[in-house]
Structure 1
Amino acid sequence: MRLTNTLQNYRRDWLGADLTAGLIVAILITPQAIAYAMLAGMPPQAGLYAALLPVIVYALLGTSPVLAVGPVAIISLMTFEALQPLASPGSSEYMALAAGLALLTGLWLLLFFLIDLGRWTNFISHSVISAFTSAAAILIVLSQIRHVTGLPIPSDGPLWQPIQTLLSASDQLRPDVLLLFALALLLLLSWQKGMPRLTRRLPQWLASLLNKAAPLVLVIAGIAAVSGLALPVKVVGELPAGLPALQLPWLTWPQWQSLLPSAAVIALIGYLESLAVAQSLADRRGPKLHSNQELLALGGANLVAAFSQAFPVAGGFGRSVVNHAAGAKTQLASIITAVLVAVICLFAARLFMNLPNAVLAVIIVVAVWPLIRFAEGWQAWRYQKSDGLVWLMTFAGVLLGGAESGILLGMLLSLVLFLKRTSEPHIAEIGRVGNSDHFRNIRRHQVGTSPTVLMIRIDENLYFANSHFLQETIANSLQQRPAVQHVVLVGSAINHIDYIGLETLQHLLQDLRERGVQLHLAEFKGLVMDRLQRTDLLPQLAPGRIFFTASEALRELGQC
């Protein structure tokens, strides 16, 4: 394992692109970091701290040249959900718990790295991740209603409380806050839609800078409006100047225990989200993405986040796309971003003192709105009802029970449906297509069969959950065809037979002999046959035979 594969063999002609990308992402991440800190219940400077050391550590260990690590919306929401029952948001205890959560998240990721979890990235179905992301995005949007309306909505209330409060206390709405939000939203959307048309003839680096500068322009406009017009709206307040003091979070043993499950879920979701972003932006000609080393890189990033008074971090989709579009060649672009954020922490923190919370709410809402993808749930339902059910139950679970409950519900339901599907696998009686050596399902094709030969193909591995179903299927077929003298089990789709499956074959052999029917095997793979040869099944099979092809079996047994 190499330290990194993005900074090695660096070329001088890449420096300009990396400098430009680093500057553009720094412009984007500064208001986002403050906004996501607010979403996580942390003071605004914690968001900037999360964009310093974690970014540098990932740059040294990560294998994606463009993945931009730092605070992200989904992980910020999960941080808030995990911590708000334990302490008051913004308090010193809350900040210590957030750092502890980042530490445990990093340790979980390192554990995943040691057990090579990167090889099992498809363990959680896409339906679970899609539903979780959509539901979490809705929760994030609802959490911003109090900043948009100025209503005193508790941050730890149930899902429906923001809407209920909005309807019942509509006479208390703050017109100035609503107007500020509406104007900020209009400015952000107009900039994102119109600026690319105006910058088409500019140099690419300058066009990218202007196209992605909307959040920074919005922040400047919001600060100017509050400072110049003295608007009585809630603002960020003064940020402490300087870099974070490195310190280990000190928590009690019960507090560590209470954070452990949440940290595991955050680690898993953060990794999957980061890996999905990195894979979507991977360049076939660029360095190869190593999924397991990404666990090491993200684990290290979260560990230093814990020591720098921040909260859990992951790879952000929006910033990574901007980094890629701006032409970043290596993770040097991320290091440049971290250096610029450090300069802001040292010398420009006071500039954000009058930044309105309503402006930050606009940045958050616009960033997460594209994550609400009901179309994916509908497509999953149309294709396969079980996948649609997993999507729906995960979505409802996250909305009603929180991120952890929803994900666990989706994973459990996926597992149950998988076991149900494999416990009743597709089993087909097959016959010859014309005079060829091809065999197909007799219910779907015009095929030739023999009245004395029953050819059965099981399209699944043979294991404890479906062994009994195979026996029942063959028994039912024999009741309908009393003239059968031979049963040929075609194993072309069988890759594994467990011990219960072996016992099933032995019982099937005995049951068929009592009926006066002989069992034969055909098209079993070499790996499966190697295991069967270590048992007594093959000697017991005689005078039953093992055929290389189904065609050979039907020709010799059925004279067809």
Structure 2
Amino acid sequence: MNLLPAWLRSYRPAWLAGDLTAGVIVTVMLIPQSLAYALLAGLPPEVGLYASILPIVAYALLGSSMTLAVGPVAVASLMTASALQPLAAAGSAEYVTLAIQLSLISGVMLLAFGALRLGFLAHFLSHPVISGFITGSAVLIAVGQLKYILGVKVAGSDVLETLVGLAKALPQTTPVTLAIGGASLLFLLLARRYLAPLLTRLGVPAKAADLMAKLAPMAAVIVSTAVVWLFKLNETAGVSVVGSVPQGLPQLTLALPGVSTLGQLWLPALLITLIGFVESVSVAQSLALKRQQRIQPNRELLGLGAANVASALSGGYPVTGGFARSVVNFAAGAHTPLAGVISAALMALVIAALTGLFYYLPYAVLAATIIVAVTSLIDLKTLKEAWHYDRADALSLLATAMGVVALGVEAGILMGVALSLAALVWRSSHPHMAVVGRVPGTEHFRNVERHAVQTVPGLLALRVDESLFFANATVLEDRVEALLAHDPSVRRVLLICSAVNQIDATALGVLTQLERSLASRGIEFTLAEVKGPVMDRLRSTELGQRLQGKVFLSVHEAFEHAVQVGN
């Protein structure tokens, strides 16, 4: 049995240049992001660096995407902070231990889901709910970082409290911190929008210009760190800096959670697992399609699970696939996960020898990096499209976003899922039903209210466009009775089941009672186009016995029968 991953067994030397380039570029991008997202998670900066080494290697061994860049991301960092801040003081040893255990629990869940082949969980959360969750999280994150831009201390459990606290703390703003943070924020915003076109006009190839624009955060880090160091602004102007970052590779340890810790962390871990998996698969699939490659969701579960367990072993916190880094990795020419392995090796070098360079890095610049990164996640386009196409989906998106902003991460996502399920049940409980007739000269049957069709006197042909279950069975019965009351001449009711994939026990009881009621009034009840699996279950029932000889293969056959019997 060959334990090497398939991409490594079939590796081509021609791919090496692209993988090396991508590995270096992603590392340059990953350094400020790792530090910033650790800050967002309420963790010491080195924890973000630790989460950027072994997890990448573990994913490379088991994951299925050739270009997904795994590591700390904004949303998972926010969810980590949301889960742990009620349990321990941010940055404390207990807090760090809980973050490590959260990563371990999430990793074990992902591995278990992968072993059980539950890759379909990627479709468990609807796109509007995911969009609403990420949008709400982006707002929550951006507002929470403003205190670092202003250089003030503000406590707030939600956006409103934080904004009120910021307003009250404005007089205590540190001017130099605001200048550094504001300048960095402005530079990053302008770089994101205008730097690539500017470089292109100056003669830089479009691909290289786009990559250089995405590396603007590293430029902001280097320049601001140099300015603070040169003028000692941390001492003379009160600028908050990262300070000493422990040098040296992390020790491999396994901090197993106790029963009480499991009870506190299993739900946050599950939400991080689901959100991280869905987000990663979405990014990986979009990039794979550009190269006619395929993503295996079950392998993704194993790869992400291994990455999170590796993060826990090396003192990190929950990780997942990052959108921005993955896009840069792809654009920089990565062909295989070797690019990620190279990035991990370079990050290990940084941690082993270069962490002293981060001492004068201002927190305000890390906050600006986070704000610019997350504002691009606010998805107003999906909201607009959903509002015009399906208000229920749009309301689910809005409710999820507002729930995250007002009530917190866990409450927001649970609210979105609940609303999505409620919308699904509501739609299913109000199925579209149409009385149909024959299109003249054909064997096609269409809605009598939409098309000029022919009907058979005394025949009511009703098509129901939904599976029948407890929530909509009586709706069907009421519709049939209403149509019969409107046309007392009806002697035959034909139920067209071409869209019915299942009939549950409640619906079976309603149909059985309906058939008996119709028979007592001298009205024949028949079915057409019943799917094989549905018919297999009906045969052994009372309804199936009573309908022997009254189930037709096609609507055309049922219409012909009605014409013959009528004549």
| Aligned residue number for residue 553 of structure 1 | 558
For residues 191 and 453 of structure 1, the distance between their equivalents in structure 2, rounded to whole angstroms, comes to 69
Structure 1 position 251, deviation (Å):
4.3
Confirm or deny: 8 A CA contact 1:452 1:558 kept in the other structure.
Answer: no
Confirm or deny: 8 A CA contact 2:131 2:379 kept in the other structure.
Answer: yes
Confirm or deny: 8 A CA contact 2:224 2:362 kept in the other structure.
Answer: yes
For residues 191 and 436 of structure 2, the distance between their equivalents in structure 1, rounded to whole angstroms, comes to 62
For residues 12 and 233 of structure 1, the distance between their equivalents in structure 2, rounded to whole angstroms, comes to 48
For residues 322 and 284 of structure 1, the distance between their equivalents in structure 2, rounded to whole angstroms, comes to 14
The two structures have a TM-score, normalised by structure 2, of: 0.94
One-letter identity of the residue aligned with 2:171: D
Q: Which runs of 5+ in 1 are unaligned?
A: none
- Of 489, 500, 510, which residue of structure 2 is paired with 1:504? 510
The two structures have a TM-score, normalised by structure 1, of: 0.96
| Aligned residue number for residue 222 of structure 1 | 224
Confirm or deny: 8 A CA contact 1:134 1:371 kept in the other structure.
Answer: yes
Aligned residues: 558
One-letter identity of the residue aligned with 1:185: L
For residues 322 and 196 of structure 1, the distance between their equivalents in structure 2, rounded to whole angstroms, comes to 17
1:63-462 alignment, distance < 5 Å: 63-154=64-155, 156-192=156-192, 193-198=194-199, 201-202=203-204, 207=209, 210-231=212-233, 232-283=238-289, 285-462=291-468
Confirm or deny: 8 A CA contact 1:4 1:63 kept in the other structure.
Answer: no
For residues 191 and 373 of structure 1, the distance between their equivalents in structure 2, rounded to whole angstroms, comes to 20
For residues 392 and 212 of structure 2, the distance between their equivalents in structure 1, rounded to whole angstroms, comes to 45
Structure 1 position 199, deviation (Å):
5.3
| Aligned residue number for residue 535 of structure 1 | 541
User: The residue matched to 2:354 in structure 1 has which SS?
Assistant: helix
- Note the aligned Cα RMSD (angstroms): 1.9
Specify whether residues 257 and 29 from structure 1 end up closer, same or farther in structure 2 by C-alpha distance, changes over 3 A only: same
Specify whether residues 539 and 85 from structure 1 end up closer, same or farther in structure 2 by C-alpha distance, changes over 3 A only: closer
Structure 1 position 474, deviation (Å):
0.8
User: The residue matched to 1:371 in structure 2 has which SS?
Assistant: coil
Confirm or deny: 8 A CA contact 1:96 1:251 kept in the other structure.
Answer: no
Confirm or deny: 8 A CA contact 1:24 1:212 kept in the other structure.
Answer: no
One-letter identity of the residue aligned with 1:189: L
- Aligned identity (percent) is 45
One-letter identity of the residue aligned with 1:530: D
Confirm or deny: 8 A CA contact 1:96 1:250 kept in the other structure.
Answer: no
Structure 1 position 436, deviation (Å):
1.6
User: The residue matched to 1:430 in structure 2 has which SS?
Assistant: strand
Q: Which runs of 5+ in 2 are unaligned?
A: none
Confirm or deny: 8 A CA contact 1:5 1:287 kept in the other structure.
Answer: no
For residues 234 and 281 of structure 1, the distance between their equivalents in structure 2, rounded to whole angstroms, comes to 39
Structure 1 position 47, deviation (Å):
0.5
Structure 1 position 203, deviation (Å):
6.7
For residues 135 and 211 of structure 2, the distance between their equivalents in structure 1, rounded to whole angstroms, comes to 29
Specify whether residues 283 and 161 from structure 1 end up closer, same or farther in structure 2 by C-alpha distance, changes over 3 A only: same
1:44-63 alignment, distance < 5 Å: 44-63=45-64
Structure 1 position 468, deviation (Å):
1.5
- Per mean C-alpha deviation after superposition, the further-off stretch among 246-255 and 359-368 is 246-255
One-letter identity of the residue aligned with 1:130: S
For residues 380 and 223 of structure 1, the distance between their equivalents in structure 2, rounded to whole angstroms, comes to 44
Structure 1 position 85, deviation (Å):
0.7
For residues 39 and 262 of structure 1, the distance between their equivalents in structure 2, rounded to whole angstroms, comes to 16
Confirm or deny: 8 A CA contact 2:387 2:393 kept in the other structure.
Answer: yes
| Aligned residue number for residue 4 of structure 1 | 5
For residues 208 and 428 of structure 1, the distance between their equivalents in structure 2, rounded to whole angstroms, comes to 53
- Per mean C-alpha deviation after superposition, the further-off stretch among 194-203 and 53-62 is 194-203
For residues 195 and 418 of structure 1, the distance between their equivalents in structure 2, rounded to whole angstroms, comes to 43
Confirm or deny: 8 A CA contact 1:226 1:355 kept in the other structure.
Answer: yes
Confirm or deny: 8 A CA contact 2:242 2:362 kept in the other structure.
Answer: yes
Specify whether residues 408 and 424 from structure 1 end up closer, same or farther in structure 2 by C-alpha distance, changes over 3 A only: same
Structure 1 position 477, deviation (Å):
0.8
Structure 1 position 7, deviation (Å):
2.7
Structure 1 position 493, deviation (Å):
1.0
Structure 1 position 284, deviation (Å):
5.5
